[in-house]
Chain A
Amino acid sequence: MAAGIPSTTSGIRPGWPGQVDRLSTLFGWISAGMIVVSVLITCQMIFVRAVLGQSTVWQTELVTYLMVAATLLGLPYVQKLRGHVNVDLIPLMLRRGPRKALAIVTLSASMLIIAVMLFYGFEFWHKAWARNWKSETIWAVRLWIPYAAVPAGLGMLLLQLAADLWATINGTDKPFNIAEEKD
Chain B
Amino acid sequence: MDPLTLGALLAVITVLVLFSGVSVAVGLIIVSAGFLMVFDGLRSLQLLPEILFGKLDNFALLSIPMFIIMGASIASTRAGADLYEALDRWLTRVPGGLVISNLGACALFAAMSGSSPATCAAIGKMGIPEMRKRGYPDTVATGSIAAGGTLGILIPPSVTMIVYGIATETSIGRLFLAGVVPGLLLVTLFMAWSLYDTWRKGSADAIAGRSYSWRERFEIMPRVLPFLLIIMGVLYAMYGGLATPSETAAVGALLCMVIAIIIYKLWSPKLLWNVLRDSTRESVMILFIIGAAGVFSYMLSSLFITQSIAAWIGTLDVNPWVLMFFINIFLLVAGFFLPPVAVILMAAPILLPIVISAGFDPYWFAVILTINMEIGLITPPVGLNLYVINGIAPEISLRTILVGSMPFVGCMVVAILLLCFFPGLATWLPDLIMGQAV
Q: List chain A positions with a Cβ less than 8 A from chain B.
A: 1-6, 28, 31-32, 35-36, 38-40, 42-43, 45-46, 50, 60, 63-65, 67-68, 70-72, 74-75, 77-79, 81, 83-91, 102-103, 105-106, 109-110, 113-114, 116-117, 120-121, 123-124, 147, 150, 154, 176
15 contacts between A and B (CB under 8 A): A32-B276, A35-B69, A39-B250, A63-B59, A67-B62, A72-B56, A74-B284, A83-B284, A85-B24, A86-B21, A91-B20, A106-B22, A123-B46, A150-B49, A176-B21
Task: Chain B residues near A36: list those with CB within 8 A.
Answer: 276
- Looking at chain A's contact residues, the main secondary structure is helix
> What A residues does B47 contact at CB under 8 A?
120
Distance (whole angstroms) from the CB of B256 to the closest CB of chain A: 10
* B-side interface mostly: helix
| Inter-chain contacts of A32 with B (CB < 8 A) | 273, 276-277, 279-280
Cβ contacts under 8 Å, B282 to chain A: 83
Please tell me which one of the listed residues A1, A50, A90, A113 contacts residue B382 in the complex, with CB atoms under 8 A apart: A1
Contacts of B20 in A (CB 8 A): 90-91, 102, 105-106
Interface residues in B1-60 (C-beta closer than 8 Å to A): 18-27, 29-30, 33, 45-50, 52-53, 56-59
Most B CB atoms within 10 A — which of A85, A114, A121? A85
Q: Shortest Cβ distance from B355 into chain A, in angstroms? A: 25
Nearest-Cβ distance from residue B121 to partner chain A, whole angstroms: 10
CB neighbours of A154 from chain B (8 A): 49
Flag if A109 contacts B30 (CB, 8 Å): yes
Partner of B49, one of A1, A70, A117: A117
A43 → B minimal CB distance (Å): 5
| Whole-angstrom distance between the Cβ of A24 and the nearest chain B Cβ | 12
Apart from A1-B381, A106-B22, list 17 A-B contacts with CB within 8 A: A5-B387, A5-B391, A6-B285, A32-B273, A32-B276, A40-B254, A42-B246, A78-B285, A81-B281, A83-B285, A87-B18, A87-B382, A90-B19, A114-B26, A117-B49, A120-B45, A124-B50
Question: In the complex, how many angstroms separate the beta carbon of B296 from the nearest chain A beta carbon?
Answer: 13
Would B383 and A1 count as touching, CB distance under 8 A? yes
Q: How many Å lie between the Cα of A6 and that of B277 in the bound state?
A: 13
How many pairs of residues, A versus B, come closer than 8 Å at their CB atoms? 188
Contact pick for B65, options A4, A35, A50, A117, CB 8 Å: A35
Query: A67 vs B279: C-alpha distance in the bound complex, in angstroms?
Result: 13
Contact (Cβ within 8 A) A109 B22: yes
Q: With the chains together, A82 CA to B388 CA distance in Å?
A: 17
**List of A residues within 8 angstroms of B289 by Cβ:** 85
A88 vs B20: C-alpha distance in the bound complex, in angstroms?
A: 7
Decide if A77 touches B280 in the complex (CB within 8 Å).
Answer: yes
Q: Chain B: which residue is nearest A82 at the CB level?
A: B23
A105→B16 CA distance, assembly (Å): 13
How many residues from B make CB contacts under 8 Å with A?
64
B66 contacts chain A at the CB level, 8 A cutoff: yes
Known pairs A75-B288, A84-B288, A85-B339; A68 contacts B49 (CB<8 A): no
CA distance A116 to B283 in the complex (A): 24
**Measuring CB to CB, which residues of chain B are less than 8 angstroms from any residue of chain A?**
18-27, 29-30, 33, 45-50, 52-53, 56-59, 61-62, 65-66, 69, 117, 242-243, 246-247, 250-251, 253-254, 273, 276-277, 279-285, 287-289, 291, 337-339, 342, 381-384, 387-388, 391
Which one of A6, A75, A89 lies within 8 Å of B19 (CB-CB)?
A: A89
Please name all residues of chain B whose beta carbon is closer than 8 Å to the beta carbon of A63 when the two chains form the complex: 59, 62
Contacting pair B284 A78 (CB below 8 A) = yes
Q: Tell which of A64, A87, A91, A117 touches B52, judged by Cβ atoms closer than 8 Å.
A: A117
Question: For the complex, what is the distance from the CA of A45 to the CA of B62, rounded to whole Å?
Answer: 14
Pick the 3 closest A-B CB pairs, nearest first: A42-B250, A84-B23, A74-B284
Instruction: Give Cα A120–Cα B45 distance, bound, in whole angstroms.
Output: 8
Residue in chain A with minimal CB distance to B295: A117
Question: Contact: B384 with A1, CB < 8 Å?
Answer: yes
Q: From the candidates A46, A77, A89, A113, name the one contacting B30 in the complex (CB within 8 A).
A: A113
Q: Identify which of A91, A113, A116, A121 contacts B21 (C-beta below 8 A).
A: A91
Complex partner residue of A120 from B21, B25, B49, B65, CB under 8 angstroms: B49
Closest A residue, CB atoms, query B282: A83
* A43/B251 in contact, CB under 8 A: yes
Assess whether B53 is in contact with A3, with CB atoms less than 8 Å apart: no
Are A39 and B33 neighbours in the complex by a CB distance under 8 Å? no
Closest CB-CB distance, B100 to chain A, in whole Å?
28
- A13 vs B177: C-alpha distance in the bound complex, in angstroms? 47
Contacts of B381 in A (CB 8 A): 1, 89
A65 to B282, CA, bound (A): 19
- A165 to chain B minimum Cβ distance, whole angstroms, is 13
Across-interface contacts of A117 in B (CB, < 8 A): 29, 48-49, 52
